[in-house]
Chains A and B, each alone.
Chain A
Amino acid sequence: MKNYKILYLFLIAVVLTACKPEIESFTPSAGNADFTTYISLGNSLTAGYLDGDLYRSGQQVSYPNLIAGQLKTVGGGEFIQPLMYDDIGFGRRLVLNLNTVRDCFGQPVDGVAPSLGPFPLAMLDPKTPDPKNFTNSQELHGSHNLGVPGAKSFHLLVPGYGSMNPYFARFATGAQISVVEQAVSLNPTFFSLWAGNYDILTYALAGGEQDSLTSVQLFSYAYSTLLTALTANGAKGVVANIPDITNIAHFTTFPYNGLALTNEAQVAGLNAAYAPLGIVFQLGPNPFIVADPGAVGGLRQIKSTELILLSLPQDSIKCKGWGSQKPIPAHYFLDEGEIANIKEATQQLNAVIESLAASHNLAFVNVNAIFNNIRTGLVYDGARFNASYITGGINSLDGIHLTSRGNAIVANFFIEAINAKYESSIPLLNVIDYPGIIFP
């Protein structure tokens, strides 16, 4: 009989096979900050602008919305965004497409495989956007995400800014209100501020030919006023500095020597034409010819240290002799002096941000250092990222704004800075839970 008892023990053991291993779960905590009402201020990066436009699904992966989602585990409340009513946006949204290769007369080239590249969604799939996208909407007045595309630091202080900026006009609570006034009226307990990008970017996107860099004096005044207003009721917060935009895909994608000469006749023709200026061409890659009023004849070869903008029309290179027979206009590239201006301004404004963050006792995200690291590559759970256009996975199709994964990466750096400063344990996002660039 004893033997049967042993058999029972075996049966019990078999039942035990349903027991699974357990690892103690992570417990989030708020530390010494109060995340009940979180608001975000900034520009298009904060608004969730990507692929050249502001549209609903892009806004849903804005880094402030992603941060707000994680803050809900530590007492954060609802986070309202001034969402567009569809995914069409203002009509400039780009999608990745297999584009028909056309000759200089616009005719499709037979036998050539389509080429993968960005294409305006409006031309691919024409649809009428919801008119509510472009009007002031009562239901957006409580928006906690006050990122306004195109806004420079001091714009956030301008009363009635909605009359100058259609994005703010969508959710401004009054005709005379400024962005920061509207922010303070929400009684935030916690805020994020990533501003200053457009104080430099607007100049860079014009190839250094229009607009101007914001002076240190104006920027200091604006940034200090913003922080004083936002912290007046005791709110805590996190601020981020400005990445060196000469590292981002919009300025690094087209090589300086992208003029590819494939036959001797081309080379001989150009050499004959440019002989008086002493410019010599050869088979293979050559530096483009660019406009420079200071150079002899108003043109010269671009230097390897200078940057061509992603906005340079490629068909003008291919069909109109830009960069070879004619110089590329100055607003499509940044020359050495302009790059030096940008780098100097970035350094100066970042010094202001870092010192004001310290004096207001705020968490600080060194986005500039992070984006420098991104050039050499980041890896999250087997997914690899770098600063390259399209394949890099961080810059969206406009070459400036972040993809959804790029937003998750940035949100994680904000969360790490908050955790470090306020002794909180806010869980990081799983970067790879967000989609990358969609290929056809």
Chain B
Amino acid sequence: MRKFTFMILLVTTFSTAIAGGYQVGLHGIRQIGMGLVGTPLTLDASVLFYNPGGLSFIAPDYSFALGVNGIRSYTAYKKTEPSLAEALTDNPWGTPFYFYGAVRINDRFSAGLAINTPYGNSLSWGKDWIGRYLIQDLSLQAIFYQPTVSYKINDKIGVGVGLVYATGKFELNKALPVFNAGGEGSINLEGSTSKIGFNAGIMVRPIDGLNIGLDYRSAMDMETDDAVATFDVPVSLQGNFPNTNVSTKLPLPANLDFGAAYDVSDKLMVAFSLNYVFWSSYDSLIFDFEKNTPALADSRNPRLYSNKMIVRLGTEYKLTNSFFIRAGGYYDPSPVNSDYFSPETPSLNSVGLTAGITYLPVEKLAIELSFLYISGQEGERTYLPDNFSGTFKTQTYIPGFGISYNF
């Protein structure tokens, strides 16, 4: 019961974007420990997300995994010279979580349920910073519920597919350049929606000790036509800025993952994966206001993201039968166009370094820790439509904790 309460608390907090764009890659403490290589690994029930095709290769009859990460993320900004303007985000701790439960039905069929948070963003630049007309703060969260079945064709090939039901919500605040004696105006936008998608994968074990995985997770356009815009403007301008419903859409991009893992020895396993993200679906962020006025036109904000491939490497070493250590890293090129770089999603070309351990106090229970450090490489970026530019740099620290129980 306490565990359940804990879950509810997590659901009400938000995740922080840590991979390119607003994708979050934290879906298994073991995978995080070894560079977030996910697709070819059959370590635990997290295969439900990373590759449903691998589910039927998990050895135990019942397999559960539960984990949470704490994201501490900072973005620094310095306005294009000559200027003294600087800013640093004051983001809340993000707490993305996952729960996986899988059961072996018979020799060929397995089934399971995954609940996790593959997309999210949470940042706060503050009310008064120099980019406040672009964004003050933003919360974006999606929770995926994925019932999944997997079928083992033979000892070498397994396939699996999951139906994804995603719920999403967002809230953002921006300042508006209108004034009364009390100060500046602002707009709050809030909305929620849901969507159906799928996750399909295939796992191949051509020789003993080698896993090859391929997985595709579908795109989901999170659309809503009943988001709400609330304005705080001078009395004399309230007719120009009526509170109104808003239609908007945020695309959650498709992912195609390919990877391989190989047991070099009884103790050492190495793995890599290529994670191709179809970010070009994020062309524009459009807010279509139901009530328009001469001062309030629909807002079309170019984003012009591009498809990107993330390269991941990881390794695991068995120190003893009850103690494993892991390390890994990845390179995550930013999908964001340098000329259309909005501080609402300050995603830079990033390098991630990871480490992790697993300790099994008893045979069936694994206690897992991971640590991920992400360095977003300093770079000059501009958001042309708003003539906003400067140098950005990010640093993110993500300690993770999880348990898995297999029997």
Contact = CB atoms under 8 A, between A and B. Distances in A.
Interface of A: 2-3, 6-7, 9-10, 13-14, 16-17, 19-26, 28, 73, 96, 98, 116, 379-384, 393, 415, 419, 425-428, 430, 432-433, 435-440
A432 B133 contact: yes
B134 interface: yes
Nearest to B88: A20
B82 A13 contact: no
Contacts of B62: none
Interface in B175-200: 177-181
Interface stretch (B5-13, B163-171, B259-267, B385-393): B385-393
A14 B179 contact: no
A381 B133 contact: yes
B323 interface: yes
Nearest to B389: A381
Given A14-B399, A383-B177, A20 B74 contact: yes
A370 to B, nearest CB: 15
B154 interface: no
B88 A26 contact: no
Interface in B227-243: 234-237
B131 A440 contact: no
B124 to A, nearest CB: 14
Interface in B373-396: 373, 376, 378, 385-388, 391, 393-395
Contact of B82 (A6, A96, A393, A425): A425
Given A380-B387, A381-B131, A382-B133, A439 B178 contact: yes
Interface string B71-100: 010111111011111101000000000000
Contacts of A14: 371, 397, 399
Given A20-B395, A21-B395, A439 B179 contact: yes
A436 B399 contact: no
B326 to A, nearest CB: 11
Contact of A10 (B177, B369, B386): B369
Given A16-B397, A23-B393, A382-B388, A426 B82 contact: yes
A21 B387 CA distance: 24
Nearest to A379: B387
B84 A432 contact: no
A165 B331 CA distance: 69
Contact of A430 (B74, B85, B378, B394): B85
Contacts of A22: 76, 393
Interface of B: 72, 74-79, 81-86, 88, 130-134, 177-181, 234-237, 319, 323, 325, 355, 357, 359, 369, 371, 373, 376, 378, 385-388, 391, 393-395, 397, 399
A10 B371 contact: yes
A19 B325 CA distance: 25
Contacts of A428: 82-83
Given A17-B397, A427-B82, A436-B177, A379 B386 contact: yes
Contacts of A435: 179
B177 A440 contact: no
Nearest to B392: A23
Contacts of B386: 379, 381-382
Contacts of A393: 177
A382 B179 CA distance: 15
Contacts of A438: 179-181
Contact of B236 (A116, A381, A427, A433): A116
Contacts of B359: 3
Given A23-B393, A382-B132, A382-B134, 11 more contacts: A19-B397, A21-B393, A21-B394, A23-B76, A26-B78, A96-B236, A419-B82, A428-B83, A432-B133, A437-B179, A440-B236
Contacts of B234: 439-440
5 contacts: A21-B74, A21-B88, A21-B394, A427-B84, A436-B177
Contacts of B395: 19-21
Contacts of B177: 382-384, 393, 432, 436
Contacts of B130: 381, 430, 432-433
A26 B178 contact: no
Contacts of B373: 13, 16
A16 B132 CA distance: 29
B32 to A, nearest CB: 13
B332 to A, nearest CB: 16
Given A25-B78, A432-B130, A17 B399 contact: yes
Contacts of A25: 78, 84, 86
Nearest to A425: B82
A306 B177 CA distance: 33
A23 B376 CA distance: 12
A123 B78 CA distance: 46
Given A22-B76, A383-B177, A28 B319 contact: no
Contacts of B355: 9-10, 13
Contacts of A16: 373, 397
Contacts of B399: 10, 13-14, 17
